[in-house]
Amino acid sequence: MRGTTYLLALLIGVFAGSNSIAAETSLKMPKAEGISTIKNPEKSDDSRPAHVYGQIRLEGMQYFTPVPDAPRLTYSQLLSARLSVLKETGWLDAAFDVTGGTYFSRGQTHMIMHEAYIASKGETFKVFAGRKKKDWSDIDHRWNLGVWQPYLTLDSLRPEEEGLTGLFFDYNEKNYQVLAMVTPIFIPSMGPDVREEGGGLVADSRWYRAPSRNLDFNARVNTVYYKLDIPEQAKLVNNGGASLMTRLGDKSKGTWAVVSAGYLPVNDLILKRQAFKQTSDDKLDVTVSPAVTYHRVASVDVGYSFKAVKTTFSVLRDEPEIRLPEEEWVIQKLEPLQAYSVAADFVLTEIITRPIAVQVAYLKVDGGGIEDIDSKGTADDFTLYDSRMKFTNSLMLRLEGQVATWFKRPLVTRIKYLYDYDQRGSLLNTEFQYFPTQKWAVVLGGDVLGVQDEGHDPSGFLNQFRANDRFYGGMTYVF
């Protein structure tokens, strides 16, 4: 379980200037045909218009089950906007992709920079500087693992993949690619903003799992009181790394392979803690602080593409370094993991006339546990969180496309069903988008989580959040 979400406020100065940073919870809507530009052939190359894509979305969301301690989280209204701009000149390109939004019922605002970079000109070789998304690993991207690239996860069912930040050297031809990345800074995965309240660690999110407030000590139950100790921002951000990716073959046809390797900070911050016990009281004071550790990550993707069908087999291995804490402190030890995935993507153009994309994929993860250890490397009796992955043995079916027309206007459907055999539970996501005009869309959707046995795997993602069934609706304007 990812327990690093309270660090959001520390990274305000890196890419955003708002009072808090959170994830954009809107699903992406299809872009309007073309990108809006204002053409003027008499202008020079440096004065060429920018390519602009924008989206404004108003959404209301209702959960079926109220949270007794936080009734305000049962319903929310979100107004969000997203702007993507690419500016080309004769000698340099610049681009950014930013999202901002506000939750009316919670009084929360956020601003997120998904990508922001400048790039040199060139057909086959380019240098990028800034935050940039790249295709390091199919399994990491397809299953939202967050091993290669960080994620924004205010809403766990709508994770937003973010780019790494640094210098990218990209030699890219049709049948061959070499990509190298070096970076002096680190921006971790982020989620809901966590704070101290009444001795506990709380967040205004139904997707945050607070650590236990009870601990058995000398055959007696002690109440745990938590305190946050946030280190200086520079200690977390000033952590560099490097990675390399090579592709052979053309992903659009025939056989291809991608091999990636890197030495980078783990995208999820680890937690260390120090406990102080009052012998006369059944009370335990615990100070919690985030820290950075590194890992060696490698992945291999092998695929075959033929017409509208693409098959992919992926392997990913992650080996985190063990970091020992200071005396009287305990820290999380991340166990290595190996993940395997096989997937098939195809478009049903041969069966029906409308282009409907279908994806079938299977994921298997070995390892990936979390164990708390002391300064000598000995396992502690108490563990804050016990797993790094949400899903470990899962089958997924996804369908997306225009399934019908209504009053001669398109009705787009997105459906995803996932079953995890280890958790004995399932997840169903559905969304319908109706476009009365080219730029406006009416959105209606819902999410259902469930498990077959509530007593099986109580710390599993589906079991923990099985009460978060919900539906939502709203409108989106695309320009």
pLDDT tens digit string along 410-431? 999 999 999 999 999 999 999 9
pLDDT one-digit tens code per residue, 284-304: 889 999 999 999 999 999 999
pLDDT at 277: 66
The total domain count for the chain is 1
Percent of the chain topping pLDDT 70: 87
pLDDT of the residue at 68: 85
pLDDT at 4 over 80: no
pLDDT in tens, 192-230: 889 999 889 999 899 998 888 877 766 677 788 999 999
Tallying the residues shown for the chain, one arrives at 479
Residue 13 has pLDDT above 60, yes or no: no
Banded model confidence at residue 109, pLDDT cuts 50, 70, 90 = confident
9-13, 113-117, 245-249, range with the lowest pLDDT: 9-13
- Identify the domain containing residue 27 by its residue range: 5-478
Q: What is the pLDDT of residue 47?
A: 60
CATH number at residue 223: 2.40.160.10
Lowest mean pLDDT among 25-39, 207-221, 321-335, 423-437: 25-39
Q: What is the pTM of this model?
A: 0.87
**pLDDT tens per residue, range 395-413:** 999 999 988 888 889 999 9
